């Protein structure tokens, strides 16, 4: 088996990150930018940090493992970096001719390094690094190859694969404790199976999973080999991508984007405010490192529509579960590898929506009003930070609140002094915001 045929998408990103750093670049993974009013995400983007090596150049790189090569090339062209690469590691197809003089398709990490050295005119005595990178990247067996080797029946393979993806996404309870001492005595143990023991045992023997005690209620399955699990997840998402596309067309791009924005199923009646927007800005946790303000604002804007689209949203999640892309355990969560595919499938609709700047700002402003007001002193710092993150102003909030003032729900908006406005009836205030959101959705 070829060394690099057993690397996950994330393995390739990490290796490219190290490769670019070695050649003087400051590399950013999951890099977001807005080009021609269209959000674009790159696997890796490098800006020159050591001028003596990389000559003030920039590099855009996409890893084409399970995605369409044409789509990855389009991303690289759109960003217009000094040099663009598509690392086409998918097996079994010819590398196409590329028209642009600064965009290249390469088949492996060594070819990428050689081309980069040629472009940067790196001296021959500056050592190559690909072999060292591959030595550091985890290697593992292919799951289907292991199934074939040991003659695992097809039906059990699919059960094992489903358990693996479930445990990768959220908790998977295999055993639950008996609550009655009588059953403990007659069974000779204090727990009973509630999960798929056969599938677990197969995966456990392959070194992919184990069990751990869960807060005194039983035992959960835990992943012990994230690399092979990630590859399986990527392959599975690629396999069901067409069904996912149909599901989005059936229920609407807005609910798909809400699912992308908050990757667990929400079940309330409030406008959705994606927590990852704030986490991303402060820590980079569980989200792209650099979202443009226009994209963040659009996500908050569309998420405000949740009360209007709740039924469609709930049905969409049911569809995801049937496709094997969402799993339940203490709530329902989205398979992580499905997230970016969902975004890719709705990006054109989102691009069109962003052009409606006034409605986008109004919806985002109403969402902020709903979740941050009454503006008590303990919320002030977060509030002003959020306005900056979303590219909103107090003028935008004042405009969005005008109808609420006319209806007598709030005082006039005072931009000069917090708390900026007083709320006379908080229940009515929130109800009227939802009504305003509904009216904007009709206009949209």
Per-residue pLDDT of 126-180, as tens digits, reads 899 887 777 655 444 568 878 887 788 888 999 999 999 999 999 999 988 766 5
Spatial distance between the Cα atoms of 183 and 408, rounded to a whole number of angstroms: 63
- Output the pLDDT for position 96: 60
Q: Is the distance from CB of 199 to CB of 163 less than 8 angstroms?
A: yes
Q: For residue 312, count other CB atoms closer than 10 A to its CB.
A: 16
The answer to whether the CB of 34 falls within 8 A of the CB of 294 is yes
Q: Is 388 helix (H, G, I), strand (E, B) or coil?
A: helix
Residue 152 confidence (pLDDT): 86
Q: Which residues pair with 383 in a beta bridge?
A: none
Give me the pLDDT at residue 284, please: 40
Identify the H or E element spanning 257: helix 253-261
Percentage of the chain surpassing pLDDT 90?
57
Q: Any idea what the Cα angle at residue 381 is, between residues 376 and 385, rounded to 5°?
A: 125
* Interatomic CA distance for residues 304 and 434, integer angstroms: 8
pLDDT in tens, 297-319: 999 999 999 999 999 999 999 99
Statement: residue 62 has pLDDT above 80: yes
Q: What's the average model confidence in pLDDT over 354-367?
A: 95
Using pLDDT thresholds of 50, 70 and 90, give the confidence band for residue 330.
confident
At 127, give phi and psi (nearest 5°): -60, 150
**pLDDT tens, residue by residue, 408-432:** 999 989 998 898 999 999 999 999 9
Least confident of 62-66, 98-102, 354-358: 98-102
Tell me the pairing of strands 83-88 and 103-106: parallel
Count other Cβ atoms within 10 Å, centred on residue 350.
20
Chain Cα centroid distance, residue 359: 25
pLDDT digits (tens, 9 = 90+) for 178-233: 665 545 444 545 677 889 999 998 898 888 999 898 876 788 999 998 888 988 99
CA distance 120 to 54: 6
Q: Is the pLDDT of residue 283 over 50?
A: no
Read off the pLDDT band of 366 (50, 70, 90).
very high
Average pLDDT, the chain: 87
Beta strand spans in 65-154 (E): 83-88, 103-106
Distance of CA 265 to the CA centre of its chain: 14
State what percent of residues in the chain have pLDDT above 70: 88
* Of the ranges 7-21, 66-80, 142-156, 404-418, the best mean pLDDT one: 404-418
Report whether pLDDT(251) > 70.
Answer: yes
Q: How many CB atoms lie within 10 A of CB 57?
A: 20
Return d(Cα 311, Cα 347) in angstroms, integer. Answer: 22
Distance CA 350, CA 340 (A): 14
Reported as a pLDDT band with limits 50, 70 and 90, residue 289 is very low
């Amino acid at each position: 088996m070829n060394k690099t045929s057993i690397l996950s998408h994330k393995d390739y990103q990490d290796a490219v990150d190290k490769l670019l750093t070695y050649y003087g670049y400051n590399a950013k993974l999951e890099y977001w930018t807005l080009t021609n009013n269209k959000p674009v995400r790159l696997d890796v983007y490098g800006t020159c940090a050591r001028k003596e090596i990389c000559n003030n150049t920039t590099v855009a790189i996409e890893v084409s493992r399970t995605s369409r090569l044409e789509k990855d090339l389009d991303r690289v062209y759109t960003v217009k970096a000094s040099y663009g690469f598509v690392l086409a590691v998918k097996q079994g197809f010819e590398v196409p001719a590329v028209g642009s003089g600064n965009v290249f398709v390469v088949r492996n990490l060594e070819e990428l390094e050689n081309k980069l050295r040629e472009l940067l005119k790196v001296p021959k005595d500056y050592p190559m690094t690909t072999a060292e990178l591959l030595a550091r990247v985890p290697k593992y067996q292919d799951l289907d190859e292991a199934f074939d080797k040991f003659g695992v029946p097809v039906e059990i393979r699919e059960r094992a694969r489903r358990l693996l993806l479930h445990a990768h996404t959220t908790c998977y309870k295999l055993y639950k404790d008996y609550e009655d001492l009588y059953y403990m005595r007659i069974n000779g143990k204090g727990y009973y199976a509630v999960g798929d023991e056969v599938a677990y045992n197969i995966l456990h023997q392959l070194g992919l999973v184990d069990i751990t005690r869960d807060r005194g209620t039983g035992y959960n399955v835990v992943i012990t080999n994230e690399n092979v699990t990630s590859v399986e997840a990527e392959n599975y998402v690629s396999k069901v991508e067409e069904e996912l596309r149909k599901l989005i067309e059936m229920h609407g791009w807005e609910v798909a984007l809400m699912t992308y924005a908050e990757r667990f199923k929400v079940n309330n009646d409030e406008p959705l405010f994606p927590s990852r927007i704030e986490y991303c800005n402060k820590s980079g946790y569980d989200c792209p490192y650099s979202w443009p303000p226009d994209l963040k604002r659009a996500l908050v804007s569309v998420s405000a529509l949740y009360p209007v689209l709740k039924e469609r949203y709930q049905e969409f999640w049911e569809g995801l579960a049937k496709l094997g892309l969402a799993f339940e355990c203490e709530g329902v969560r989205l398979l992580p590898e499905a997230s970016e595919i969902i975004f890719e499938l709705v990006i054109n609709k989102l691009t069109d929506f962003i052009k409606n700047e006034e409605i986008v700002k109004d919806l985002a402003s109403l969402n902020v009003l709903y979740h941050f007001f009454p503006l008590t002193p303990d919320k002030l710092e977060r509030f002003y930070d959020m306005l900056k993150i979303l590219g909103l102003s107090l003028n935008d909030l004042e405009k969005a609140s005008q109808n609420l003032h006319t209806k007598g729900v709030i005082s006039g908006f005072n931009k000069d002094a917090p708390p900026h406005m007083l709320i006379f009836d908080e229940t009515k205030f929130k109800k009227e915001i939802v009504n305003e959101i509904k009216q904007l959705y009709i206009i949209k």
